[in-house]
Structures are given as structure tokens and as C-alpha cells.
Structure 1
Amino acid sequence: MVAILHINQILNITIRQNNQSQLFLSRIADIQEETLIIEFPLSLEKEWDPVIFHPGTKLKIDLIHQNSRFQFTSEINGKTEDKIPLLLLKRPSEADIEKIQLRQNFRVPANIDMQIVQDGENSTFYTIDVSAGGLSFYDKTCSFKKGDRVAGILELPFRTEKYEVSFLAKIVRVVAQNSNIKIKKTAIQFTDIEEKDRRKIIQFCFKRQLELKEKGISYPY
């Protein structure tokens, strides 16, 4: 068995069709000698075409294992059902799985609602960029300084719903903007966050990265 693949492993799946990529989320249900059985993928897009899950469809699959990102390609061999719908994929060999070299906690630009609580005061901000390790935002209140401890809630947009991530964090950087010294770019580092929530942020980052790639937008992150 390929060491990094295990039952309940979360998979980020990309399918490219008609010059467009669509992103899905799934989980490994079982691993057999030549077959990878996964739960029927959940779309991370607002609209998608279910007929793309037919035998022979090529898939690009990303996953996180022990804080590293891995990627491999596969294809759909068929469908089955065991209380829930399942897809049968060609199982990759160990040599087929590529480790992707990424800077730790890669960031993506994103404008997301965020609540921060400090000294009992609750304020709303909008992020500039987000990663699994922290985020940055513009602060017009000038109420934060490096080293401050804060609590917050980040609202990640997924399809038609928002997923709330609660966190504790510290302010690691406060930089005045050249054009307006009353607006400061503030960066925070998560100090306490549930692992399931961190994985959700990573999923959001994959989704956002794909959206930007489709639009031909590059960014220095």
C-alpha cells in the first residue's frame, strides 16, 4: 500500500473538460490492490455537470499528508454503491505520486469576512490574503500592534454556504500604507486552531488557486 494513501484521506480533485477546470472534494472509502474507492465527489463550484463522472474520465488529485502536498493523476474505472455512491479509480503506484514543493502555508489573495475580538471589542475586517498558517488584512482603526493576542472568526465561502473557522492568533506585522498612514496592513499568525478547520482553509486555498489560474492571474505567493 502506498504509505500516504489511507482510508478517510481527504482528496481535492480537479477535472478539466471543455477547456474549463472544476474542483471537487472527496474522501477515500477503501483501498484495494488495483483500485482506489472514493466517496462520490462534492463540487466546490456553484454549477457542475454530473455526467463528467463516467468511465475513462481523467482526474488530477491533490492531498495533504504530514504537512506535505502530493499529487497524482488517475481515471474513473466505474461506479458502485455501499450505502452511499462511490467511484472506482485506478490506484496509483508509489512512483506515480509526486511530492509538490510548496512554501509552507502558501497564501492566496482573498477578500473574506472576518471578525476579530480584542479586549472584549468585536470588529469586522476583510482579508487581503489567507493561508493555513495565518492571514493579513487592512486595519483602518489602527488598534493593533505587533505582539497583540486576538481571537477571531473567519468565514470561508464554499458554494452556497459559509464555513466558520474560529481561531486564536497573534499580530506578527503591522505596516502603514504609503498612500495613507491611517490604514495599516496587519498580519496575524494562528496560534490555536482546530486541525479540521486548518484543513478547510487548505481546501479553500486550493479552490482559490484554481480560480485564479483559470482567470490567468498570477500572484507572488
Structure 2
Amino acid sequence: MDKRITDLLDIGENIEIEIEKDDSFLNLKSNVIRVINDNIIVISNPIYKGRIYPMRIGTNINIVFNKENKGQFYYVGEIIDRKKKNNLNILFVSKHSDIRHFQRREFYRLNIVLNVDLQIIENGAVVKTIPAITKDISGGGVRLIAKSKLEKYTTVKCVIHLDNETIEAFGKVLRCDPIPDSMLKYDLGICYTAIEEKSRSKIISFVFKRQRKMIKKGLM
């Protein structure tokens, strides 16, 4: 059963909104001005670097908030109107997805198939490259399917091919499980140990873009 806005958000509630900016995510602070119903809330227009951040009607945003003893939650919203009332700039936001328990953005896993060049590292050098595909991906790690067995804690470099660019991340193999009756014989769980924050942000942005598309198509 879908969680209800009226059960979780109150007037004055502090929230965080996430918007896409320069192939990454910008996190801005806001608060709830009014809860109209379970589909529409009114929030304050966030301030960024001392100025009101320009928010366009039709922009998709992630609404993120904490509830004591219940945890963190988020949902995808769309700005449907903006007004100025009593010298306060406000935004009307409609709900475009179910409310979900929030995992830290870097650890939200998206099930998707991407090509990966998995480089095996020994003594600081690449000794072998194995073709692989993703089973899921997040900003904290990746799950791969490959033909080769790797020992636990093997150091690897993942060269991940996103839509229009390549992301690199070093990691450790945390598990390697055989897959019966499959040409790609092993299921690998890899945790990133060294990744540029710009690259991590690009993965997170990619994951959330795909997630929103799936939500709009009713696939989530």
C-alpha cells in the first residue's frame, strides 16, 4: 500500500530537494508550507548561494525527508506552479511516484544491463581484462555477470560504459557465486574502493534518470 503524504509530512517540516545540475545532483534545503492533499504540497523556494534558486514549472525533483522513528523517505515530484505570498516565494509540487524508504543515493541499486571492462589488478598493474555486464549498479558498487571466476578481495578496475561516456572505479570483489546453466558463469559483487566524486555523481545521476523514466512508464 502506498504511503500517504498526509501521514508523513507536516507544516513546517524540513525537507531536502534534489535537482539535476550539470550531469550531477544539487541538494537544496526547503520546508513544507502547506499539505493540500496526498498529491500536492506547497514548499518554500530554496535558497542557493544567498539567492532564490530558479525553479521552472515542469521540473522534476526528488523530495527527501526524515521522520523520527520511521527513517528516511523520498518520492519524485513535479513543480506545477510557483507564487509569491507574503514576500515568500513558494512552489506547488505534485507527487509523481510512490513514497519509498530512502536509501542513501549512492547505495540505491538500479537493475540494468551495461557493458563493463573488468580489469584485474596485481601489484598495481593490470594483468587481465575480462568483459562483463552489469546486473545492477549504484554509486557504491556494482553487480556483474562474467565468465571468469575471481577470488574474494581481488582488486579490480571497473570501466563502466554509460550512455555516452565511460566511468572508471577501483574496487574489491566481495563475492563470486557460480550461476548454473549460464554462458556467463559467475555473479560478482564489487564494492568501490576508489572513485572520483565526479564519477560517483555521474553514476548516481544516471541511476536516478533511469529510475524516473521507469516510474513514468509505470515500471516501478
Q: What range is the shorter-chain TM-score in? A: 0.5 to 0.7
Q: Deviations over 1:149-169 (max 9, x none)?
A: 111221221xxx22x222110
SS in 1 for 2:185: strand
SS in 2 for 1:212: helix
Q: Deviations over 1:24-74 (max 9, x none)?
A: 977589x9xx6455468xxxxxxxxxxxx6xxx354412789xx7756653
Q: Could you tell me which amino acid in structure 1 is paired with residue 159 of structure 2?
A: I
Of the candidates 152, 157, 175, which is equivalent to residue 146 of structure 1? 152
Alpha-carbon distance change, 124 to 62 in structure 1, aligned in 2, over 3 angstroms: same
TM-score (norm 2): 0.58
Of the candidates 74, 79, 98, which is equivalent to residue 74 of structure 1? 79
Paired residues in the alignment total 169
Q: CA deviation at 1:180?
A: 3.6
Q: For residue 210 of structure 1, what is the aligned residue in structure 2?
A: 212
Q: CA deviation at 1:10?
A: 6.0
Q: Deviations over 1:117-136 (max 9, x none)?
A: 11422232211110111111
**Distance in 2 of aligned mates of 1:108 and 1:206:** 8
Of the candidates 167, 180, 185, which is equivalent to residue 178 of structure 1? 180
Alpha-carbon distance change, 177 to 28 in structure 1, aligned in 2, over 3 angstroms: closer
Alpha-carbon distance change, 39 to 58 in structure 1, aligned in 2, over 3 angstroms: closer
Superposition CA RMSD, Å = 4.1
Q: For residue 102 of structure 1, what is the aligned residue in structure 2?
A: 102
Q: Does 1:11 align with 2:13?
A: no
Aligned-residue sequence identity (percent) comes to 20
**Distance in 2 of aligned mates of 1:28 and 1:128:** 28
Q: CA deviation at 1:182?
A: 6.6
Q: Could you tell me which amino acid in structure 1 is paired with residue 110 of structure 2?
A: V
Alignment of 1:1-221 (within 5 A): 11-12=19-20, 35-36=45-46, 37-38=52-53, 57-62=57-62, 74-75=79-80, 77=82, 90=90, 101-104=101-104, 105-119=107-121, 120=126, 121-142=128-149, 144-157=150-163, 161-162=164-165, 164-180=166-182, 183-218=185-220
Gaps of 5+ in 1: 14-23, 41-52, 79-88, 93-98
Q: CA deviation at 1:111?
A: 1.1
TM-score (norm 1): 0.58
